[in-house]
Chain A
Amino acid sequence: MTGNAQSSILFDGAISRALKVGRHRLVITGAIFLFSLLVVSVRLIDLTVIGDGFEPRFAAVADPTRNARLGRHDIVDRNGLLLATNLPTASVYADPKRMLNVDEAVAQLTAVLPGVGRAELAAKLKSKRRFVWIKRNLTPRQQAAVNRLGLPGVAFQSEARRVYPQGRLFSHVIGSVDIDSRGIAGVEQAFDESLRVGRDQPGETLRLSLDTRFQYVLRQELALGMARFKAAGAAGVILDANNGEVLAMVSLPDFDPNDPRDRTGIQQFNQVTLGAYEMGSTFKIFTAAMALDSGVVTLGGGYDASSPIPMGRFLIRDYKPKNRFLTVPEIFVYSSNIGAAKMALDVGADRQRAYLERFGLMRPSDIELPEVARPLTPDRWGELTTMTVGYGHGIAVSLMQVASATAAVVNSGVFYAPTLLSRDGLGGAIGRRVISARTSEQMRLMMRLNVADGTGRKAEVQGYRIGGKTGSADKPGKGGYQRRALLSSFAGAFPMDGPRYVVAVMFDEPQGIKETFNYATAGWNAAPTTGRIIARIGPMAGIIAVDDAGQEARGLLVKIADHAAGNGKEPGVAF
């Protein structure tokens, strides 16, 4: 449209105005279209040329769906061996409304699915509900069988099932989950939140401090001992002495976590953490440690143990009385109740309580398990209590607490909270000092002496410098203590010239047998069992045996005499 053409055609009045309006409308419409196209092309350029990485996001969707599907993270041991995992399985359910012949379906289903009750299933299928489970977690074979029936209204739902490939080996520590994959015991319950997979949470495997090899040795030797000494139960724990990591924890009898029916009360009970027991003489480790550390007595000092102490209607007496003055190492090695009671009395009730507090024996253990015992401590802490606690009666603690307190006594005096999590890469453990390095060294000498030539003699392993203390406590029963029901324990560590592992073992009601000359005390069952465990885990840990043909045992007495004279070597360089 040139100016020429415009001037040649002239309209007037209404027509001209109508044209003008039409032209305006065209311009406006054109502008709108142009703008929209512009928006579209800008977006197109944005998507194709500039791009902002949308594509990888689609690919990544695969991972979260997998986690959401499987529902729960894996648990592995410190070496990465799988201890608990989720496997995909199918569960069969029914919509009763869509079923044609309920009775026939019940007959067919119960024929291929063992463990499904006929009457129970019929009742379920005749209900008014639109969704009933028939059986959860089928085996592939059962799934195929149900599929072959071709029943209308019956369908599968893919689910995940928790599987424990190591079976009974870790029953109490790992615990188990219920049918809906919620943790109901052990690590599964303690770490339930972090094991559960959130919709947008990245998967993370839970790595524990446990070592399958140590666990196996511990369980096997405990089972062997339990059968041999006809004990009602057995429990044991292996700790890393220098950071509190739990390397193995076994409580027998145990259960198969893969079989939810295989559980009675006693099987489910974790005797290591949930059982609080009067430990007996094993407690003398702590009494001696607090006496030496507070300075009320030195290694050269001693107490008169020539006659039992009358205390109200009680009589504190020794199991094998020596009837004479005993030095501190002698009290420890002969396990004298009289000596320990007098030592405790010298420490005093307040200080005794403070030390026990520091050793973590007065409050529940810090171990990350839901099954943790609250120690049973005396309400009134009088003189009698002070004395009985001195040799491990009147106070009940768990084996776990004894093990971690023993670790603190031998590792130069630093208490580490016991943990089931691998401390690698967590920047090491933070402990708190509870006794001096010098006291710890003296305790190591006495504990070593006790195994080299004392009540713990049967724990000796040629070449390994094992140290420890036995304890045999009468179990409390109706109206007092039972003479025949013992709880025997051994708290040991090795190698004593630089402890790496603490091993604590306990037998519930062991019986005297012919090989032990009918003795049922710890020196005859818990001590040798600990020795056998150490003989097997030592080589695994690469601990080098020391061959000194009895030189060391004699040297021990010299060193103890040195300490007694008050000129022991610098702390930290014992042996």
Chain B
Amino acid sequence: MKPSSVILWVVIVGAMTSGLFQLKYAVQSSEDELARLNRELIATEEAVQVLHAEWSYLNRPDRIAVLAARYLDLEPMTPRQIGSLDMMALPVIQESQP
């Protein structure tokens, strides 16, 4: 074997080894990242769950009724207040004579 080819092989092996190490560490840090994200995901999901429950709790009809009575100038609808479009008297548009 010629010395040049030996050097070539040594360089190739060295490059591959360091490349492999780089890859291994990259994968390891990616895995750590994944685990961290998963933990974050779980924590966020738990938070979302709690917020959903709180939203439903705050939307209790009896609470809304009290708040509406206190802050809004609205009253419960009566049957009379519901209608359809064709019950409305529409303005008559007169066609102008040429």
Contact = CB atoms under 8 A, between A and B. Distances in A.
The answer to whether A and B assemble together is yes
Interface of A: 58-59, 61-62, 65-66, 69-70, 74, 81-83, 85-88, 163, 165-167, 169, 212-213, 216, 220, 461-464, 535-536, 538-540, 542-545, 547
A539 B56 contact: no
Interface of B: 34, 38, 41-42, 45-46, 49-50, 52-57, 59-62, 76-84, 87
B56 A88 contact: no
Given A58-B34, A62-B41, A463 B49 contact: no
A69 B54 CA distance: 20
Contacts of A86: 49
Nearest to A48: B23
Residue in B60, B81, B87 whose Cβ sees the most chain A Cβ within 10 Å: B60
A544 B84 contact: yes
B38 A62 contact: yes
A86 B53 CA distance: 9
Nearest to A59: B34
Q: Which of A65, A81, A86, A542 has the most CB of B within 10 A?
A: A81
A545 B80 contact: yes
A462 B81 CA distance: 12
- Among B52, B54, B87, max chain A CB count under 10 A is at B52
Contacts of A58: 34
A538 B80 CA distance: 10
Given A167-B60, A539-B79, 13 more contacts: A58-B34, A59-B38, A66-B41, A66-B45, A82-B56, A165-B53, A165-B56, A165-B60, A169-B61, A216-B61, A216-B62, A539-B77, A545-B82
A538 B79 CA distance: 7
Contact of A88 (B46, B76, B83, B84): B46
B79 A543 contact: yes
Contacts of A464: 79
Contacts of B46: 87-88
B56 A83 contact: yes
A81 B34 contact: no
Contacts of B52: 74, 82, 85
Contacts of A87: 46, 49-50, 53
Given A62-B41, A65-B42, A213-B61, A461 B79 contact: yes
A463 B56 contact: no
B34 A462 contact: no
A20 B41 CA distance: 66
Contacts of A69: 42
Contact of A463 (B53, B61, B80): B80
Contacts of B62: 216, 220
A166 B60 contact: yes
Contacts of B81: 539
B69 to A, nearest CB: 14
List the 4 closest A-B pairs by CB distance, nearest first.
A216-B61, A539-B77, A82-B56, A165-B56
A165 B61 CA distance: 11
Contacts of B82: 538-539, 542-545
A545 B79 contact: yes
Contacts, number: 80
A58 B30 CA distance: 12
Contacts of A66: 41-42, 45
A82 B55 contact: yes
A167 B57 CA distance: 8
A86 B45 CA distance: 12
Nearest to A546: B79
Nearest to B58: A165
Contacts of B57: 165-166
A536 B65 CA distance: 13
Nearest to B38: A62
Contacts of B60: 165-167, 169
A85 B34 contact: no
A88 B52 CA distance: 13
Contacts of B41: 62, 66
Nearest to A543: B82
Contacts of B83: 544
Nearest to B62: A216
B61 A212 contact: yes
B7 to A, nearest CB: 23
Nearest to B57: A165
A236 to B, nearest CB: 16
30 contacts: A59-B34, A62-B38, A66-B41, A66-B42, A66-B45, A81-B56, A82-B53, A85-B49, A85-B56, A87-B46, A88-B46, A88-B49, A88-B50, A163-B53, A165-B56, A166-B56, A169-B61, A212-B59, A213-B61, A461-B79, A462-B79, A535-B78, A538-B79, A539-B76, A542-B82, A543-B82, A544-B82, A544-B83, A545-B80, A545-B82
A536 B78 CA distance: 7
Contacts of A166: 56-57, 60
A85 B53 contact: yes
A59 B78 CA distance: 53
Nearest to B50: A87
A484 B50 CA distance: 50
Nearest to A166: B60
Contacts of A461: 79
Contacts of B80: 462-463, 545, 547
Contacts of A167: 60
A169 B63 CA distance: 12
B62 to A, nearest CB: 7
Nearest to B83: A544
Contacts of A216: 61-62
A542 B79 CA distance: 9
A207 B1 CA distance: 77
A355 to B, nearest CB: 34
B15 to A, nearest CB: 17
Nearest to B30: A55
Contacts of B55: 82
Contacts of A74: 52
Contacts of A542: 82
Contacts of B34: 58-59
